[in-house]
């Protein structure tokens, strides 16, 4: 018999929510969750944690809808979780972009200005308000999930997976501890560690790449009424991180094919110049108050849609990730898609061939 029915490799927000989804749907499978470090040590710890109800494609809109409901349910079940509803403001030149991108549940509504006088709206740019936005301290949320999971699974931290060998009956994971773990099915949720030699040959055909992500911390305290301001034409946003007492400015950095282990986590002069140039177009006073920030990276798929897919002929190894800077906001839906692929019956149906909550059938 295998050591575990399902082994989840990677204890970030996606891996933890995959384990959470599996054990919530069915308490019977023996689940192991492994991380080479402590949980929430990767991209999840550095995440800005913004969830907004939008998506550029039909699938992402579906994932966003599912995730929004799932986070609302988690927050209702445990109000101490660090998930905070937030007012939403969008700036865009093209009204059709707002209509195309935002879910109807976001109820985009034209507005005159962004409240608070923080940003100047450039000529030719419209302002909208919306609903259904929240942000989380993703590191703390991931740790809280791991705490609730601990009695329900085998949590093995500081245990690096050094090779993944799919076989006819199960998958053998070789571990940094010198031992092995066999599992009937394995979920790889490696965040930006796509090139880990343990699974690189399995993951390479996905064509996913790793991009640097930079966000600046703005040295100004948000008020309870402040909301997120999304600069649609820049793929950037200003987020009031109330729990940390400052704003965060996220913009799009185009530095590709970085390695999470060797990436310089310090802000570079080029990072600051690019971010200041972008922020100055809307809020020059804030740009002057940005001297610190966070630098890490994330995995992106060729289509910019997240990937949930089997990697081996036997269908025993499933990849979940490459969410392209949206791994927090889409994680619950990716977890549901993963559980569907693993044939874990959606809660309440009792039948593995019923359509799952994301529309997929659980039987392959
Ligand atoms: C600065 C920044 C801002 C962001 N802002 C947002 C945002 O506002 N909204 C949003 O939705 N998303 C955002 N993201 C993206 C989001 O944070 C990621 O998509 C998400 O955290 C990915 O989660 P994950 O679980 O896949 O990866 P990770 O959190 O990186 O977890 C992967 C885990 O795998 C483990 N691991 C790696 N190799 C091995 C091995 N060999 N053996 C065992 N374990 C291993 C690592 O230790 C790590 O804990 C942001 C990302 C960054 C960097």
What per-residue confidence (pLDDT) applies to 358?
52
The pLDDT assigned to 295 comes to: 97
Q: Is 340 left (phi over 0), alpha (psi -120 to 50) or beta?
A: alpha
Task: Say what the pLDDT of residue 362 is.
Answer: 35
Residue 265 is predicted with a pLDDT of: 80
- Dist CA 64 CA 326 (whole Å): 10
Q: Which atom of ligand 1 is found nearest the CA of 325? A: 15
Take atom 24 of ligand 1 and give the residue whose Cα is closest.
Answer: 191
Rounded to an integer, what distance in angstroms lies between the CA atom of residue 310 and that of residue 180? 22
Helix or strand or coil: residue 228? strand
| Ligand 1 center from residue 285 Cα (angstroms) | 32
Low-confidence ranges of the chain (pLDDT < 50): 352-357, 360-364
With H, G, I as helix, E, B as strand and everything else as coil, classify residue 348.
coil
Where residue 246 falls (left for φ over 0; alpha for ψ -120 to 50; beta otherwise) is: beta
Cα–Cα distance for residue pair 50/136, rounded to 1 Å: 7
Q: Is 181 exposed, middle or buried (0-12, 13-18, 19+ CB in 10 A)?
A: buried
Å from CA of 253 to ligand 1 middle: 17
ipTM of the complex: 0.99
Structure confidence at residue 286 (pLDDT):
93
Phi-psi region for residue 236, left (φ > 0), alpha (ψ -120 to 50) or beta? beta
Q: What domains does the chain contain, in order, with CATH numbers?
A: 1-82+137-206+304-364 (3.50.50.60), 86-131+209-300 (3.30.9.10)
Which residue, 37, 38, 21, is CA-closest to 29? 21
Q: Which of 7, 9, 10 to mutate to test the pocket of ligand 1 (most atoms within 8 A of CB)?
A: 10
- List pocket residues of ligand 1, CB cut-off 6 Å: 9-15, 34-37, 41-44, 46-50, 138, 160-161, 189-193, 196, 198, 213, 215, 294, 296, 298, 321, 323, 325-329
Distances (CA, A) of 265 to 61, 213, 292, 336: 32, 10, 12, 32
Q: Whose CA is nearest to atom 12 of ligand 1?
A: 326
């Amino acid at each position: 018999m295998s050591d575990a029915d399902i082994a989840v490799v990677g204890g970030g927000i996606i891996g933890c929510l995959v384990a959470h989804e599996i054990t919530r749907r069915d308490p019977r499978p023996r689940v192991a969750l492994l991380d080479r470090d402590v949980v929430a040590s990767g991209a999840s710890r550095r995440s800005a944690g913004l969830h907004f109800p939008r998506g550029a494609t039909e699938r992402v809109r579906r994932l966003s809808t599912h995730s929004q409901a799932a986070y609302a349910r988690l927050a209702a079940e445990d109000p101490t979780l660090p998930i905070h509803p937030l007012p939403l403001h969008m700036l865009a030149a093209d009204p059709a972009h707002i209509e195309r991108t935002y879910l109807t549940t976001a109820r985009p509504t034209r507005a005159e200005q962004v409240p608070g006088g923080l940003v100047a709206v450039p000529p030719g740019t419209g302002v909208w308000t919306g609903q259904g936005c929240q942000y989380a301290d993703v590191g703390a949320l991931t740790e809280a999930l791991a705490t609730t999971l601990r009695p329900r699974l085998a949590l093995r931290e500081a245990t690096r997976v050094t090779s993944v060998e799919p076989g006819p009956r199960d998958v053998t994971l070789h571990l940094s501890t010198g031992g092995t773990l066999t599992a009937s099915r394995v979920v790889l949720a490696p965040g930006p560690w796509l090139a880990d030699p343990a699974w690189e040959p399995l993951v390479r055909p996905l064509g996913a790449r790793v991009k640097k992500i930079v966000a600046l911390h703005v040295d100004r305290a948000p008020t309870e009424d402040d909301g997120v301001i999304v600069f649609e034409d820049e793929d950037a946003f200003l987020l009031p991180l109330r729990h940390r007492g400052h704003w965060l400015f996220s913009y799009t950095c185009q530095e590709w094919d970085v390695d999470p282990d060797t990436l310089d986590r310090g802000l570079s002069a080029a990072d600051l110049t690019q971010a200041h140039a972008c922020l100055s177009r809307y809020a020059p006073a804030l740009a002057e108050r940005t001297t610190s920030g966070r630098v890490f990276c994330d995995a992106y798929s060729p289509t910019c849609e997240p990937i949930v897919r089997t990697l081996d002929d036997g269908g025993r190894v499933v990849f979940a990730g490459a969410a392209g800077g949206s791994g927090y906001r889409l994680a619950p839906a990716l977890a549901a898609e993963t559980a569907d692929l693993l044939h874990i019956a959606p809660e309440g149906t009792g039948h593995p061939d019923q359509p799952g909550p994301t529309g997929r059938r659980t039987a392959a």
